[in-house]
């Protein structure tokens, strides 16, 4: 029986299963059910099929459309399949693909306000396995098949909305979701055959499908996440998301179960939404029934702006150094002369680490990795992990550890109980004697014991992701590349080879570096069948596998092929600095802000409770969701974090620059500054805090910004100046107080000066080189970065407060009592020297103290001016910042001074 041409096509959700359903006897009923479904689909006479599948995830905020033509079968199976069932790698499936169809779907989704991206990939087993069974050889479906992705994440309602958008595709296009109603892979490692969870989900699905209306059906399915078995059924959500796409696609159609087949920890339900409603063009959308759960999903906040940089990279992975100590002395990591250990008071305490972890998790971080030094030497590492592990209730998904493995085996069991999900183990040689040379310590047997213990626990269902990191150095351990690869012959281990990188103290020599291409050539010489494995978009490594091997091989190519474009990592150093790039030397202190309310002292357990740190994080998250004003401490931290992330560069420096760049030794990459010679000052090695104000991030009500403007006169022509001297002034220059009689620079003594009221006013001008900025600002339009006036004022205020960090001989802690910044638009006709208009900035700073605030006023104008440039550079890169000048100063020995214009 065929369906009339003007009849609405149904939508289908199918449980695709694994490749074994194609040949194992116990799956005969599944095969027959899929074959019958194939006959039904052919009778519908669709002109194309568009489907989502649990094996294909896009981005958290974007759907990917597959433009590849032609596509072929992708045998996306683990190495154990080649060993146990090699014949499945001979399976093929004849099918059609169409770039024209991909373009049609791409443009349609864009018209429905769905963010889309293009990609190219072959058909994974979630597509070709069920389709090969539905349409066997000789009875193929002669229409194009297009696979699009799901979103990354667990936003079920977003996939309902995706289905609704797809349901309005013109033409007879059949929409299919391919996934699993229950998909608990970790339980398979325990060999369980318990069907209770699968049966519970089946019963809930049947109840949902029996709903009296389609909208109630969707609401019941959205409530699935309340089910106590949800987490066990879907430790990761990707296989259930296609179900919600089909719910959206059939939001106005009736639904019924076709078949359901729970088996072990899986459930392969298939259901159909169908009706005789005429074609899509005339359907009307029925408003969904609003349950509290559905309302919450609809209003779910997007990924935190504080953790999203200007290249739209979302930073959901946080690395925290918990110690600077290590029980090894690896050649590439620890300088031969050792490192100066920080005083304990400079390092983050456990309560501070827990607080920062909870703050980042509240903003969307889902993965935390504890590093060092060597994290296992920290005395309270297990209790610390237990406290961080509790953040799983707030959205944390992965808690990982980077370790050398020396003492890991002694602490592994309680760590797993605390929530440990992944271990990156550093091991650069499989030779016990070479190990002692490379690490300057014994301990090879202890490392292997830790590896064996992880593998043993994984057999019992621990599910720890184990990766071995090996830094390859020419002439040192490059001959061991193949032995490391062969570790994976029988063991499910991923070995990742890391290109040797320059860090201070490791005696960098370009000749030591063994490149990714060279490593690949060494492996392919013995294993020419080595093949690339498609990884996750945020992977740092390029992953390969040798057919028949259990393990995999990866390459971290920081030196020759950067992976900056998908970087989602942030680092917190042992002394509490935020580091947005491993290869950058810009850092900003979070520790000092946390300790501000504790008189600058480390936060211990008593202070942790007294300051209610965890409670205020939760309160901040709640108020942020509700659009309220978050507590000042969290606001200040998030402002600084947000702007540090916004200042992250598109990519790190190339090798020629990296090898000459000053950076911490690797052992201290998450700890205090290493006192290398000729380094830049402490202040200049960090992000200047005056830059850390962001549109929409700071609460402007906290600042004084309303100073009435004064129209300055036209700048006079510059007087002829003498050439700048090439040497320091000599002893006769007694009027320069920053020079001693021996011509050395010092900060002037002010202890004997009287305290008086001081005030300084400075000004500068940002001149436009075309009409566009003036036109935008005249109309009151903001830029894509926000309100130029407000942000520039706040930037000026922040700059004034941080002047001692920028101007080396300025006195810190002078006690500023007020900062007023005026930012005004100057029309082109108001000043003939500014043909296209300008921004006039005037800043006044006041204090009661022993030294003046002229530099603070000047710095405030420049901070505001640079922010104006930053926010308008998209329309005018030719702007000129000029006429920076002091207008007036009051107080102090020199009295009252006013510029004569």
Mean pLDDT to the nearest integer, 713-740: 43
- The more confident residue out of 510 and 570 is 570
Give the full edge-to-edge strand order of the sheet including 182-183. 182-183, 266-267, 262-263
Catalytic residue (one of 229, 478, 604, 870): 870
824-833 own/partner pairs: CB under 8 Å, 24+ apart: 824/709, 825/774, 825/777, 825/778, 826/765, 827/774, 827/778, 828/771, 828/774, 831/714, 833/714, 833/715
* Mean pLDDT computed over every residue of the chain: 78
Q: Is the pLDDT of residue 514 over 80?
A: yes
Q: Is the pLDDT of residue 805 over 70?
A: yes
Rounded Cα–Cα distance for residues 573 and 576 (Å): 5
- The more confident residue out of 696 and 314 is 314
Question: How big is the CA angle at 648 (ends 647 and 651), to the nearest 5 degrees?
Answer: 140
Confidence of residue 721 (pLDDT cuts 50, 70, 90): very low
Comparing C-alpha atoms, which of 284, 260, 286 is closest to residue 272? Answer: 260
Tens digit of each residue's pLDDT (9 = 90 or more) over 234-266: 777 888 889 889 888 887 776 655 444 444 334
Task: Give the model's pLDDT for residue 686.
Answer: 33
- The more confident residue out of 109 and 330 is 109
Q: Is the pLDDT of residue 567 over 90?
A: no
The radius of gyration of the chain from alpha carbons, rounded to an integer in Å, stands at: 32
- The more confident residue out of 838 and 84 is 838
Q: Each residue of 87-121: b (16+ CB within 10 Å) or e?
A: ebeeeebebbbbbebbebbbebbeebebebeeeeb
Q: Is the pLDDT of residue 853 over 50?
A: yes
Active site residue 194: no
Rounded to the nearest 10 degrees, how much is the dihedral formed by the CA atoms of 447, 449, 455, 459?
A: -160
Q: Is the pLDDT of residue 148 over 90?
A: yes
Rounded Cα–Cα distance for residues 503 and 508 (Å): 7
Task: Give the model's pLDDT for residue 659.
Answer: 52
Task: Give the model's pLDDT for residue 377.
Answer: 93
Using CB atoms within 10 Å of the CB of residue 660, give its burial: 0 to 12 exposed, 13 to 18 middle, 19+ buried: exposed
In sequence order, which residues have a C-beta less than 8 Å from that of residue 512 and are 6 or more positions away? 473, 474, 475, 476, 500
Comparing C-alpha atoms, which of 799, 764, 860 is closest to residue 643? Answer: 799
Task: Give the model's pLDDT for residue 340.
Answer: 74
Confidence of residue 713 (pLDDT cuts 50, 70, 90): very low
Confidence of residue 781 (pLDDT cuts 50, 70, 90): low
Domains and CATH numbers, the chain: 11-298 (3.40.830.10), 305-603+634-687 (3.20.20.70), 700-710+751-898 (3.30.70.640)
Q: Is the pLDDT of residue 316 over 70?
A: yes
Q: Cα–chain-centroid distance for residue 474?
A: 33
In sequence order, which residues have a C-beta less than 8 Å from that of residue 734 and are 6 or more positions away? none
Q: Is the peptide bond before 186 cis (omega within 30 degrees of 0)?
A: no
Tens digit of each residue's pLDDT (9 = 90 or more) over 736-755: 565 554 445 556 666 567 77
Mean pLDDT to the nearest integer, 795-810: 88
Mean pLDDT to the nearest integer, 694-720: 35
Task: Give the model's pLDDT for residue 699.
Answer: 29
Q: Find which of 277-291, 654-668, 757-771, 812-826 is predicted with most confidence, using mean pLDDT.
A: 757-771
Confidence of residue 281 (pLDDT cuts 50, 70, 90): very low
Q: Find which of 29-38, 124-133, 336-345, 481-490 is predicted with most confidence, using mean pLDDT.
A: 481-490
Q: Is the pLDDT of residue 833 over 80?
A: no
Q: Is the pLDDT of residue 130 over 70?
A: yes
Q: Is the pLDDT of residue 533 over 50?
A: yes
Tens digit of each residue's pLDDT (9 = 90 or more) over 198-207: 667 777 777 7
78-82, 859-863, 890-894: least confidently modelled range:
78-82
Confidence of residue 217 (pLDDT cuts 50, 70, 90): confident
Task: Give the model's pLDDT for residue 862.
Answer: 95
Give the full edge-to-edge strand order of the sheet including 756-767. 816-826, 838-849, 756-767, 880-890, 897-898
Which run of H or E residues covers position 399? strand 398-403
Task: Give the model's pLDDT for residue 228.
Answer: 57
CA distance to 75, 80, 89, per residue, from 92 (Å): 9, 19, 8
Task: Give the model's pLDDT for residue 218.
Answer: 79
Using CB atoms within 10 Å of the CB of residue 267, give its burial: 0 to 12 exposed, 13 to 18 middle, 19+ buried: buried
Mean pLDDT to the nearest integer, 389-396: 90
In 429-551, DSSP assigns E strands to 465-472, 494-499, 531-532, 541-545
Q: Is the pLDDT of residue 719 over 70?
A: no
Rounded Cα–Cα distance for residues 808 and 737 (Å): 14
3-class SS shares of the chain: helix, strand, coil, % to 5: 35, 20, 45
Q: Is the pLDDT of residue 270 over 70?
A: no
Tens digit of each residue's pLDDT (9 = 90 or more) over 676-686: 333 333 333 33
Confidence of residue 81 (pLDDT cuts 50, 70, 90): low
Q: Is the pLDDT of residue 765 over 90?
A: yes
Mean pLDDT to the nearest integer, 138-157: 88
Q: Find which of 271-275, 360-364, 814-818, 888-892 is predicted with most confidence, using mean pLDDT.
A: 360-364
- Give yes or no for a contact between 144 and 195, defined as CB atoms under 8 angstroms apart: no
Report helix, strand or coil for 661.
coil
Tens digit of each residue's pLDDT (9 = 90 or more) over 417-433: 999 999 999 999 999 99
Q: Is the pLDDT of residue 336 over 70?
A: no
Rounded Cα–Cα distance for residues 555 and 661 (Å): 23
Task: Give the model's pLDDT for residue 335.
Answer: 63
The H-assigned helical ranges of 342-419 are 350-362, 381-389, 408-418
255-259, 302-306, 364-368, 608-612: least confidently modelled range:
255-259
Q: Give the single-character DSSP code of 894.
A: T
Task: Give the model's pLDDT for residue 715.
Answer: 38
Q: Find which of 325-329, 394-398, 519-523, 815-819 is predicted with most confidence, using mean pLDDT.
A: 519-523
Confidence of residue 223 (pLDDT cuts 50, 70, 90): confident
Tens digit of each residue's pLDDT (9 = 90 or more) over 599-647: 999 999 999 999 999 888 888 877 776 667 788 889 899 999 998 999 8
Instruction: Identify any residues that bridge with 898 across adjacent strands, giving them in sequence order.
Output: 888
Task: Give the model's pLDDT for residue 401.
Answer: 97
Task: Give the model's pLDDT for residue 736.
Answer: 59
Mean pLDDT to the nearest integer, 330-352: 80
CA distance to 356, 359, 759, 788, 871, per residue, from 854 (Å): 37, 38, 8, 25, 26
């Amino acid at each position: 029986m065929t369906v009339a041409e003007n009849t609405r096509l149904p939508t289908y959700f199918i449980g695709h299963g694994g490749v074994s359903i194609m040949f194992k006897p116990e799956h005969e009923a599944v095969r027959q059910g899929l074959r019958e479904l194939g006959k039904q689909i052919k009778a519908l006479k669709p002109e194309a099929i568009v489907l989502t599948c649990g094996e294909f995830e896009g981005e958290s905020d974007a759907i990917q459309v597959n433009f590849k033509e032609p596509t072929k079968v992708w045998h996306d199976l683990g190495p154990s399949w080649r060993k146990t069932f090699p014949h499945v790698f001979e399976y093929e499936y004849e099918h059609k693909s169409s770039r024209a169809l991909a373009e049609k779907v791409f443009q349609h989704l864009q018209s429905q306000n769905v963010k889309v991206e293009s990609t190219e990939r072959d058909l994974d087993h979630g597509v070709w396995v069920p389709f090969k069974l539905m349409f066997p050889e000789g009875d193929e479906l002669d229409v194009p098949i297009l696979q699009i992705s799901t979103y990354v994440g667990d936003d079920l309602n977003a996939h309902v909305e995706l289905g609704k958008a797809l349901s309005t595709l013109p033409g007879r296009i059949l929409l299919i979701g391919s996934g699993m109603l229950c998909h608990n892979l970790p339980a398979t490692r325990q060999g369980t055959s318990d069907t209770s969870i699968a049966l519970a989900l089946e019963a809930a699905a049947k109840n949902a499908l029996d709903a009296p209306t389609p909208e109630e059906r969707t609401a019941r399915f959205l409530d699935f996440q309340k089910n106590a078995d949800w987490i066990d059924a879907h430790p990761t959500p990707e296989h259930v998301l296609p179900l919600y796409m089909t719910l959206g696609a059939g939001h106005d159609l009736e639904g019924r179960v076709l078949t359901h087949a729970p088996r072990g920890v899986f459930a392969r339900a298939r259901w159909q939404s169908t009706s005789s409603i005429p074609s899509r063009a005339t359907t009307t959308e029925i408003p969904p029934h609003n349950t509290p759960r559905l309302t919450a999903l609809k209003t779910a906040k997007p990924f935190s702006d504080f953790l999203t940089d200007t290249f739209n990279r979302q930073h959901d992975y946080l690395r925290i150094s918990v110690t600077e100590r290590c029980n090894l002395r690896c050649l590439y990591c620890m300088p031969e002369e050792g490192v100066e250990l920080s005083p304990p008071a400079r390092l983050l305490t456990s309560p501070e680490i827990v607080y920062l972890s909870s703050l980042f998790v509240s903003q969307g971080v889902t993965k935390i990795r504890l590093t060092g030094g060597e994290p296992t030497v920290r005395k309270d590492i297990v209790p610390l992990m237990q406290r961080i592990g509790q953040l799983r209730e707030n959205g944390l998904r992965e808690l990982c550890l980077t370790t050398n493995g020396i003492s890991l085996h002694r602490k592994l069991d309680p760590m797993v109980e605390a929530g440990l999900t992944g271990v990156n183990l550093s091991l650069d040689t499989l030779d016990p004697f070479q190990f002692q040379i490379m690490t300057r310590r014994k301990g090879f047997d202890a490392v292997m014991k830790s590896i064996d213990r992880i593998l043993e626990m994984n057999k019992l269902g621990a599910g720890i992701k184990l990766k071995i990191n090996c830094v390859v150095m020419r002439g040192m351990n490059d001959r061991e590349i193949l032995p490391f690869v062969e570790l994976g012959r029988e063991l499910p281990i991923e070995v990742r080879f890391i290109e040797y990188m320059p860090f201070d103290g490791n005696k960098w020599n370009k000749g030591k570096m063994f490149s990714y291409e060279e490593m690949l050539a060494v492996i392919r010489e013995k294993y020419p069948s080595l093949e690339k494995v498609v990884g996750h978009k945020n992977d740092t490594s390029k992953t390969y596998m040798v057919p028949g091997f259990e393990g995999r091989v990866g390459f971290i190519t920081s030196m020759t092929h950067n992976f900056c474009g998908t970087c989602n990592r942030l680092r917190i150093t042992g002394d509490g600095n935020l580091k947005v790039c491993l290869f950058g030397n810009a850092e900003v202190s979070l520790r000092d802000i946390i300790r501000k309310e504790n008189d600058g002292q480390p936060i211990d357990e008593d202070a942790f409770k007294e300051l209610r740190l965890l409670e205020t994080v939760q309160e901040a998250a709640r108020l942020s969701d509700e659009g309220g004003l978050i507590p000042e401490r969290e606001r200040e931290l998030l402002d600084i974090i947000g702007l540090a992330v916004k200042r992250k560069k598109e990519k790190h420096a190339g090798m020629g620059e990296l090898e000459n760049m000053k950076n911490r030794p690797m052992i201290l990459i998450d700890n205090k500054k290493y006192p290398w010679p000729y380094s830049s000052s402490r202040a200049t090695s960090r992000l200047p805090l005056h830059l850390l104000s962001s549109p929409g991030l700071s609460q402007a009500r906290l600042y004084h910004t309303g100073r009435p403007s004064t129209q300055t006169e036209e700048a006079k022509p510059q007087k002829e100046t003498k050439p700048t001297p090439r040497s320091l002034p000599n002893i006769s220059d007694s009027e320069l107080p920053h020079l001693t009689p021996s011509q050395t620079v010092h900060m002037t003594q002010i202890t004997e000066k009287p305290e008086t009221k001081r005030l300084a006013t400075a000004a500068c001008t940002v001149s436009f080189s075309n009409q566009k900025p003036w036109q935008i600002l005249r109309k009151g339009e903001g830029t894509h970065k926000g309100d130029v006036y407000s942000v520039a004022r706040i930037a000026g205020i922040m700059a004034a407060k941080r002047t001692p960090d920028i101007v080396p001989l300025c006195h810190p802690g002078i006690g500023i009592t007020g900062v007023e910044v005026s930012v005004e638009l100057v029309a082109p006709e108001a000043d003939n020297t500014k043909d296209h208009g300008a921004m006039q900035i005037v800043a006044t700073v006041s204090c009661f103290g022993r030294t003046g605030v002229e530099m603070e006023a000047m710095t405030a104008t420049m901070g505001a001016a640079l922010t104006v440039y930053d926010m308008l550079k998209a329309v005018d890169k030719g702007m000129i910042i000029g006429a920076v000048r002091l207008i007036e100063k009051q107080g102090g020995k020199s009295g009252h001074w006013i510029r004569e214009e």
